[in-house]
Amino acid sequence: MKSRINLRQVEAFRAVMLTGRMTAAAELMSVTQPAVSRLIRDFEDATRLRLFERRGNQISPTPEAVTLMREVERSFVGLDRIAFLAREIGRQAAGTLRIAAMPALGNGILPRFLARFLRDKPNLNASLSGLPSTAVIEAVAAGQADIGYADGPLDRPGFIIETHPIAAVVAIPADHPLAAKELIEPQDLRNQRMISLEPGTVFAMRVEVALAGVPRLSTLETRLSHTALSLVDEGAGIAIIDPTSASEFRGRNVAVRAFSVFIDAGFLAIRPEHRVTSALVEQFAKEFWIYHDELVGRR
């Protein structure tokens, strides 16, 4: 039988959050330290939340505990509201979610997915910041974002990094003769006007290696995927680009074709290594990968 939340458990939780230690919380409540520990265990059982990370004699609150504490402080005697919020946090429907993403994702696929993610979570506060990849990394490192999406590679300690290799595609004006081909080869791009994406980046260098020895009519340069695709849409040239951004231009004057040379156009999902990741962030990260792969046709 599920135990019920009582006022003494909430008092113990609040005391531990305020003092940062079980022994200090016991002194504040005028009880023994084992009594506080038992109350905290009962409170975790009743809320079905992991509220504290225990490392030896030290404890640190989880993100779920921080979110719950805000409600405890606002309405300390409102046990019904606290119990409701605990249930919402437990099903990842309440709390705070801060996302930082490079423009290729932050201007397209991520806002759409976030809107879907929030539909059944009216108590969830969320923010989405579009930033250059270097700024995304620093935002995660500084604790200003719970999860970040950035261009790779990243060889820096202190992060949990996930990546899925994704093959770049060729974006061609729909009325261009090359649009009739299903697979584009480097020599097909001879004497074509190419749109160079993010000059100086690893991705741009990979494209240059793939097109080595292929003469081009002229080159347009831009830093943003959506700008490149808008240029393709207007017939200004051809771009080798990530399929995530290309999916945003379906139904427009852009034909997307496979490229015979594999160029990795994947991105990184990064989280801080030394901070506890909430179940909410874990759920968001997992569901976004599924949504992304379905959108670009990998499932």
Tens-digit pLDDT string for the chain (299 aa): 457 888 889 889 988 988 888 988 898 888 999 999 999 999 999 988 899 988 877 888 999 898 888 878 776 655 555 555 565 555 544 477 899 998 888 888 899 999 999 988 877 888 998 888 888 999 998 888 999 999 877 877 888 898 878 899 999 999 999 999 999 999 999 999 999 887 777 788 889 999 998 998 877 889 888 999 999 999 999 999 999 899 889 889 999 999 999 999 888 999 988 777 788 888 999 999 999 888 876 54
Asked if residue 133 and residue 105 are part of one domain, the reply reads yes
Asked if residue 270 and residue 155 are part of one domain, the reply reads yes
CB atoms near residue 33 (< 10 Å): 14
In a domain, 1, yes or no: no
Asked if residue 203 and residue 243 are part of one domain, the reply reads yes
In DSSP terms, 254 is beta-bridged to 173
For the domain that residue 208 is a member of, what is the CATH number? 3.40.190.10
Asked if residue 85 and residue 61 are part of one domain, the reply reads yes
In a domain, 61, yes or no: yes
Asked if residue 209 and residue 290 are part of one domain, the reply reads no
Handedness of CA 54, 55, 57, 63 (dihedral sign): negative
Token representation of residue 197: 């994406």
* Residue 222, CA distances (Å) to 87, 194, 239, 249 in order: 47, 11, 11, 17
Which helix H or strand E contains 36, and what residues bound it? Answer: helix 33-47
Q: What CA–CA distance (Å, rounded) separates 151 from 83?
A: 41
Question: Residues near 14 by Cβ (< 8 Å), separated by ≥ 6?
Answer: 69, 72, 73, 76
In a domain, 2, yes or no: no
Range of the domain at 83: 7-90
CB atoms near residue 115 (< 10 Å): 10
Asked if residue 139 and residue 104 are part of one domain, the reply reads yes
- Per the structure, how many domains does the chain have? 3
In a domain, 220, yes or no: yes
Q: Name the domain boundary from 74, 90, 106.
A: 90
Asked if residue 101 and residue 24 are part of one domain, the reply reads no
Predicted local confidence at residue 293, as pLDDT: 86
For the domain that residue 20 is a member of, what is the CATH number? 1.10.10.10
State the helix-helix crossing angle for 79-90 and 33-47, rounded to 10 degrees: 60
Asked if residue 19 and residue 40 are part of one domain, the reply reads yes
Asked if residue 127 and residue 155 are part of one domain, the reply reads yes
Q: Please give the biggest Cα pair distance in the chain.
A: 83
Token representation of residue 281: 């962030």
Asked if residue 184 and residue 126 are part of one domain, the reply reads no
CB-based burial label for 156 (10 Å; 0-12, 13-18, 19+):
exposed
Asked if residue 225 and residue 212 are part of one domain, the reply reads yes
